[in-house]
Amino acid sequence: MTLIDSIKTRRSIRRYSDKEVTDSLLNELLDLSARTQTMGNLQLYSVVVTRDKEMKQKLAPAHFNQPMVTGAPVMLTICADWNRTTRWCQERNAQPGYDNLLSFLNAASDALLYAQTFCNLAEERGLGVCYLGTTLYNPDAIIDTLKLPRLVMPIATLTVGWPDEQPALNDRLPLASFLHKETYRDYSVKDINLYYNLKESLIENQEFVRINKKENLAQVYTDCRYTSTDNEAISKTLLAALCRQGFLD
Amino acid sequence: MTLIDSIKTRRSIRRYSDKEVTDSLLNELLDLSARTQTMGNLQLYSVVVTRDKEMKQKLAPAHFNQPMVTGAPVMLTICADWNRTTRWCQERNAQPGYDNLLSFLNAASDALLYAQTFCNLAEERGLGVCYLGTTLYNPDAIIDTLKLPRLVMPIATLTVGWPDEQPALNDRLPLASFLHKETYRDYSVKDINLYYNLKESLIENQEFVRINKKENLAQVYTDCRYTSTDNEAISKTLLAALCRQGFLD
């Protein structure tokens, strides 16, 4: 199986079989993923592996108790990490200056690129993975549980295991909707209707609208899933966590 | 070729042959990359394709005139994009609230995961790619040149083409250096020496130290490549650009 084949039928997997994910396989994939592009070849990330049942239970509330946290054999918390590089510099009588917004974003980029190569490799091998979108929602609980020091910030969490489900493929927007040639061409009403028509017409999405008693799918997003009030509140928590971890001193 | 094979020998490619990267191939890869995981299936990214010579010349200064900008057949600027989703919400009488830090980071994540799947796919196909680490350094020039509207922020730039070089493989840190089991284990002096020993012993890195008249490699990073002064100054520019694009109102 090549990536080009596996990506065509990829879906996020939230239910896993009892089959073990061996350390040997996991470490092989985590090691290979490190071939991913990285800023100045510094590898500004760390991975915390959670296999212990108690640790999963401690992390679960930070992820709103989504069942795959305790149900997955392995959880990976992928962190933006300037701590290791900073420790290296300090040992070498070099003056590190990586406690700022740019450095945070550079490390977060490194961490996310690494995470995605890991996903692509794991899925090509037949493993199932799922990103938990909640990592940035409750960073403090994750920082405390995983004992993350200053200049380490959790960025992405993955659950990993052998698939025990085969959910339907999700829809995606057509290429034309996110592709711009030479300059950004803003969207007309006609464009929006054309690009979102398929998504809005899907039976499962119409069902979401009905259950949530909304007029349409966009309102399910703005009023239920990702509300302005939540986004503003979480942004404040996030800013505080970035300060706590030393990136906005 | 599978990803597991191509990743083992991957290197960033900065020199490209004259062979065309056809729209057909490029679009196939850009479309397939959209199977990548995305928050709430919203695909919070856009891709601006640059093929036009004049446009490359306009973008070049923002990327410190690195020669691959004008030398590559294709440049991709991958953007965090809440504009499209916001336009959709507005057309549907839904109240979007995505002008905040959390929303920016969610869209930046989507953009980076998308970018990395594109790289994995392109490299599996034999194409060469290179991230330009400069996208966050001069966002204003990129925003102006590509005419990016509010709620669209450039996050990553890739040059793409058929390889015309085969540089040596870069070193990477050993897995043990970035892998933590259950909790983060901070680094002792012994750990640091162990993990950075290979990197410091490489002839090309010793040459960097000599050329830059530094005591060691860490000082090349802190005093020449990524200085505190630059990082602080660029962080300010970046913060201003995030305000300008409406993410920190």
Residue B19, pLDDT score: 97
**How confident is the model over B114-136, as pLDDT tens digits?**
999 999 999 999 999 999 999 99
CA-based nearest distance B109→chain A, Å: 7
Is residue A216, in this structure, part of any structural domain at all?
no
Write the CA distances from B48 to A90, B100, B221, integer angstroms. 40, 23, 31
β-strand pairing of B128-132 with B152-161: antiparallel
Residue A121 resides in a domain: yes
Q: What is the number of domains present in chain B?
A: 1
Burial of A169 (0-12, 13-18, 19+ CB in 10 A): exposed
As a whole number of angstroms, the distance between CA A217 and CA A219 comes to: 5
pLDDT for the residue B125: 97
Write out pLDDT tens, residues B59-107: 999 999 999 999 999 999 999 999 999 999 999 999 999 999 999 999 9
Distance CA A73, CA B83 (A): 38
Q: Is residue B236 part of a domain?
A: no
Written as one letter, the residue type at B40 is: G
Domain presence at residue A172:
no
What is the model's pLDDT at position A215?
98
**How far is the alpha carbon of B204 from chain A, nearest alpha carbon, in Å?**
13
Q: Render pLDDT for A222-231 as a digit per residue (tens, 0 to 9).
A: 999 999 999 9
Domain containing residue B93: 3-167
Q: Mean pLDDT of residues grouped by 10 in chain A (249 residues)?
A: 95 97 98 98 98 98 95 98 98 98 98 98 98 95 98 98 96 98 98 98 97 98 98 97 94
The CATH code of the domain that includes B45 is 3.40.109.10
Phi then psi for B13, rounded to 5 degrees?
-110, 125
What does pLDDT average to over chain B? 97
Is B249 a residue whose pLDDT tops 80? Answer: no
> Residue A97: its pLDDT value, please?
97
Domain assignment present for residue B156? The answer is yes
Contact indicator for B206, A169 with CB cutoff of 8 Å: no
Rounded Cα distance, A220 and A216, in Å? 7
B247 assigned to some structural domain: no
In a domain, A53, yes or no: yes
Is the pLDDT at B210 greater than 90, yes or no?
yes
Residues 30-49 of B with CB under 8 A from A: 30-37, 39-43, 45-49
| Chain B contact present for A235, CB below 8 A | yes
What is the DSSP pairing of strand A45-50 with strand B179-181? parallel
Residue of B132, B222, B248, B249 to mutate, interface with A, max A Cβ within 10 Å: B222
Q: Which two tokens stand for residue A135?
A: 């990592």
Would A173 be classed as within a structural domain? no
